[in-house]
């Protein structure tokens, strides 16, 4: 189902998540990589509480490079949040970006999210 490139890009997203090791607590460490035409065009990881989540940071990275994320593939290590907390729902930012595909490594075990973000995508 997934290609070797999908595995490679998800591995890169996991590396991004490591950058949040001592930064994101109590939020989960999440990494995100955005790919277009086989090239990584954006990276992000969850920032300190109240700061951007991985997906939003990666989209900001893409836009800072002057690239349009429409039609991209987004790899994220945890299902995007779908509820309002200290930040707006990440799923809203992803929907607005109009990617072709979003690949998620796991469903969020938090009952506030738990599959709801994936349903919206």
pLDDT at site 85: 80
More confident: 32 or 113: 32
pLDDT in the model for residue 110: 86
Helix (H, G, I), strand (E, B) or coil at 107: coil
pLDDT mean over 31-55: 96
Label residue 114 by pLDDT band (50, 70, 90).
Answer: confident
Q: Cis bond leading into 26, ω under 30°? A: yes
Q: Return the pLDDT at 41.
A: 98
pLDDT of residue 39: 97
d(CA 48, CA 99): 26
**pLDDT tens, position by position, 82-102:** 987 888 989 999 999 999 999
CA of residue 28 relative to chain centroid, distance: 12
Distance CA 84, CA 41 (A): 27
> How many whole angstroms separate alpha carbon 31 and alpha carbon 11?
10
Handedness of CA 20, 103, 105, 94 (dihedral sign): positive
Query: What per-residue confidence (pLDDT) applies to 86?
Result: 85
Q: What predicted TM-score, i.e. pTM, was given to this entire model?
A: 0.93
Structural domains in the chain, sorted by start:
4-120 (3.40.140.10)
User: Which residues participate in catalysis according to the annotation?
Assistant: 55
Neighbouring-strand partners of residue 43 = 33
Q: What percent of the chain has pLDDT over 90?
A: 71
């Amino acid at each position: 189902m997934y290609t070797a490139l999908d595995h490679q890009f998800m591995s890169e997203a996991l590396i991004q998540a490591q950058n949040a090791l001592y930064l994101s607590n109590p939020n989960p460490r999440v990494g995100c990589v955005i790919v277009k035409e086989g090239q990584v065009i954006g990276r992000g990881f969850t920032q300190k509480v109240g700061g951007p989540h991985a997906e939003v940071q990666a989209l900001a990275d893409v836009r800072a490079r002057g690239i349009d994320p429409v039609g991209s593939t987004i790899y994220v290590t945890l299902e995007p949040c779908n509820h309002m907390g200290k930040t707006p729902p990440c799923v809203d930012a992803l929907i607005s970006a109009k990617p072709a595909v979003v690949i998620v490594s796991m469903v969020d075990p938090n009952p506030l999210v738990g599959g709801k973000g994936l349903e919206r995508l």
